[in-house]
Structure 1
Amino acid sequence: MKLYLTTLAVLFLSASPAWAQAKARSDSAATGKTVARVNGVALTEVDLMREMLVMFPYARQHGGKVPQTLEAGLRKGALEMIEFEELVYQEAQRRNMKISATRLSRAITDFKKQFDSGADFHAFLVSEFRGTQQTLRKKIRRSLLIDDLLDLEVTRKSRVSDAEVRAYYDENSGKFHVPRKASIQTISIVIPDEATAFEQAGSRRRANDALRQARATKNAEEFGSLAEKISEDEWRVMMGDHGAIEEEKMPPPVARVVFGMKPGQVSDVIKAENSYCIVRLNRLDAARQLPLAAVQTQILKDLRARRVDQLRAALNRRLRETAKVEEFS
């Protein structure tokens, strides 16, 4: 189960332009429709729409609407998420977890700071909570309780030690091996599909002429200018520059030649699959192993994200075992 935002952040979304657009597009009767019940507690279309906008943050560019091609998948994921959050909230209540008055007041103050004026805040209250701050307080308290229980059951348990990072690095050393690369420019002369011998000979003559001109260039810039003029593939708009390419990603005939060259050299004509190719080698980068220090931050991030997903999924399964969850189409 993917971690998106804190539940308080989801509530903050209610004040966003995207949410206003989405609500404006929706039928008012439909937004109050019950889409699920968790141990008898109703979850509405409003809750579902809000979560869908969290999962698809580009809704504002789409007029507050989720693209039809994504809607079914987003709706399913959002429904699972709001059910999970309600289960977590009910578990926090069962454990008699508390939110201090000071913390609740601070969260409400932070929420109000989103609005440009008191009038805007009041308009939001009227639209979302029938003008009562008490309902808002309950919503924020609920969000804080959910976040607290998730912190207890997921965040604190998802810590990854330095030893675990080191073990992952040692056991997956191949992932941190950088193969040798060559920075090249090319000039290509295309061989027509199903070319006759005469057509192939014509392509070869043009390639030989291109080679003569390429050998006369003195640097990468001159080679690139020539590639712009005479190369017959799409790389000509990039002055024939392919950047740094791994050996295995090159056509084998080209790789065999390139990795035997020295920087600054121009190859002979190389016959590739559907073209004659001339290569200028600009730089060779030897294969190397990334040290742990260079990748430990990313490893830590990846391991922790994986553990968070596992812990959330396990918590979801555990809470559902004793819950009654009903869904309505």
Structure 2
Amino acid sequence: MIFLTRSLSVFAVALALLFSALPATAAEAQPQVGQIARVNDQMLMRQDLDREMKLVSLRLARQGQPVSAAQLKQYEANIRETLINRTLLLQQARSAGVDVKESLVTKALSEFKAAFDGEMGYARALADMGFSEESLKNQIRDGLAVKALIDDKVTRHISLSDRQVRAFYDDNPSLFRRPEQVRASHILIKVPENADPAKKDEALAAIQALKARIENGEDFAVLAMENSDCPSKAKGGDLGFFGREQMVKPFSDAAFALQPGQMSDVVETRFGYHLIRVTERQEEQTLPFNDVKEAIASRLRQEQEGKKIDAYIEKLKEHADIKRFPL
């Protein structure tokens, strides 16, 4: 999407991940591990926090954003607050008699298992989280109870009008401008930056020979599949659409100077030597309202949900006995 979605609260994001661990009850806690907080009559233990931090680390790694233990420790207090919030909500759900159908738990467990590479990957994930499958099902059940509570007490009361969605679009035109783009294919002959002159000359001769073959009528895509050192070779060198800022400058300068159907001369970048062929161009444009209205509505609804969830939790805290202990 062209515009950036405002981040929700730490809790609101965590709530969407229904498979996160919920704290153990005081009876199940290991006192020797150390107390980190008390929420009414329920004690939160260091093992609860360590498990949650492990889950956060796994999620970030899966999203391609691995963090070190030292980096993760900086978020320790925030993660504890997430545990406190979640515990309050679970206590409220139980007090309200929220019931979760077993079929929903089974479905959620199947979706969770499907995210891993077979039974072995799933088993490793359980071991990493310190769960048996039965304890995981209990955590899923609790997570679904919290979600049901939030749906009933918060999200079902949110309303969003077409006028609000349209007003956001009209008031933020810069968020919906799509810059000029080209669709291009390329052939790359890779050359390390520290390659000796002989290696560079060899690579340059290879790309020039390919250029001559294309100019003599051979198919660009076929030669890309047979000779390119870029993974795009599988698609005949096709890189799809991209803007000027998405590629290194020499590559972008050459690509945006071409018209559809034209091929560049040899272009040198830090990756090596390229031949670039542009197949389509799209001029800068403002995306039509109908193309983005659903994304706008989703963003505005998420913002409303985040604010209302935070407000609901703060109201619960006003009537709760919460004590935080040194970490």
Question: TM class, shorter-chain normalised?
Answer: 0.5 to 0.7
Give the superposition deviation at 1:8. Answer: 10
What does residue 230 of structure 2 align with? 234
Residue 147 to residue 108, structure 1, CA distance change in 2 (3 Å):
same
- In structure 2, C-alpha distance between the alignment counterparts of 1:307 and 1:326, rounded to whole Å: 29
Q: Larger radius of gyration, structure 1 or 2?
A: 1
Note closer, same or farther for the CA distance 1:81–1:199 as it changes in structure 2 (3 Å cut): closer
The CA RMSD measured in Å over matched residues stands at 5.3
Asked whether 1:299 is paired with 2:296, we answer yes
Q: Is the 8 A contact 1:186 1:227 kept in 2?
A: no
Whether contact under 8 Å (2:184, 2:240) holds in the other structure is yes
CA, structure 1 residues 53+269, in 2 after alignment: closer, same or farther (shift >3 Å)? Answer: closer
- Contact 1:34-1:45 at 8 Å conserved across structures: yes
Q: What residue is the counterpart of 2:242 in the other structure?
A: 245
Which residue pairs with 2:219 in the alignment? Answer: 219
Aligned to 1:119: none
Give the deviation of 1:177 after TM superposition. 2.3
Q: Is the 8 A contact 1:235 1:242 kept in 2?
A: no
Partner of residue 174, structure 1? 174
CA deviation after TM superposition for structure 1 residue 91, in Å: 7.0
Deviation at 1:296, TM superposition (A): 1.6
Aligned positions of 1:146-161 closer than 5 A: 150-151=150-151, 153-161=153-161
Write 1 or 2 for the structure with the bigger share of helix. 1
Distance 1:113 1:251 in 2: 48
1:290 aligns with 2:283: no
Residue 260 of structure 2 is matched in structure 1 by 263
Contact 2:208 2:266 in 1 (8 A): yes
The letter of the residue matching 1:178 is: R
2:308 to 293, 304, 311: 311
CA distance in 2, matches of 1:316, 1:52: 21
Q: What is the aligned partner in structure 1 of residue 184 from structure 2?
A: 184
Q: Name the amino acid aligned to 2:173.
A: S
CA distance in 2 between partners of 1:157 and 1:271 (Å): 58
Superposition deviation, residue 212 in structure 1: 1.5
After TM superposition, give the deviation of residue 75 of structure 1 in Å: 7.1
Q: Which of residues 277, 282, 306 in structure 2 aligns to 1:280? A: 277
Q: Which amino acid aligns with 2:305?
A: V
User: 1:268 offset after TM fit, Å?
Assistant: 2.4
Which whole-Å CA distance do the structure 2 matches of 1:272 and 1:7 have between them?
42
Whether contact under 8 Å (1:227, 1:240) holds in the other structure is no
CA–CA distance in structure 2, aligned partners of residues 197 and 72 of structure 1: 48
Q: Distance in 2 between matches of 1:270 and 1:10?
A: 49
Letter in 1 for 2:304: R
- Number of the residue aligned with 1:163: 163
Amino acid at match of 2:177: H
**Map of 1:43-122 to 2, 5 A cutoff?**
43=44, 79-88=80-89, 107=100
Amino acid at match of 1:38: V
Change (3 A) 1:217 1:315: same
Shift of residue 319 of structure 1?
3.9
Q: What code does the residue aligned with 1:167 have?
A: A
Superposition deviation, residue 292 in structure 1: 1.8
Aligned to 1:63: none
1:74-122, Cα deviation, whole Å (9 max, x unpaired) = 97566434432454577789xxx865xxx85xx467689889xxxxxxx
Kindly state the Cα deviation for residue 213 of structure 1 after the two structures are TM-superposed: 2.0
Alignment coverage as a number of residue pairs = 279
Mark the CA change 1:41 to 1:197 in structure 2 (over 3 Å): closer, same or farther: closer
For 1:326 and 1:41, locate their aligned partners in 2 and report how far apart those are by CA, in whole Å.
Answer: 10
Distance 2:274 2:80 in 1: 55
| Equivalent position of 1:38 in the other structure | 39
Q: Percent identical across equivalent pairs?
A: 23
TM-score, length-scaled by structure 1: 0.58
Q: 1:146-195: per-residue Cα shift (whole Å, max 9, x none)?
A: 66764465314443222221122223333322223222222345666478
Q: Do the aligned partners of residues 51 and 216 (structure 1) sit closer, same or farther apart at CA in structure 2, a change above 3 Å counting?
A: same
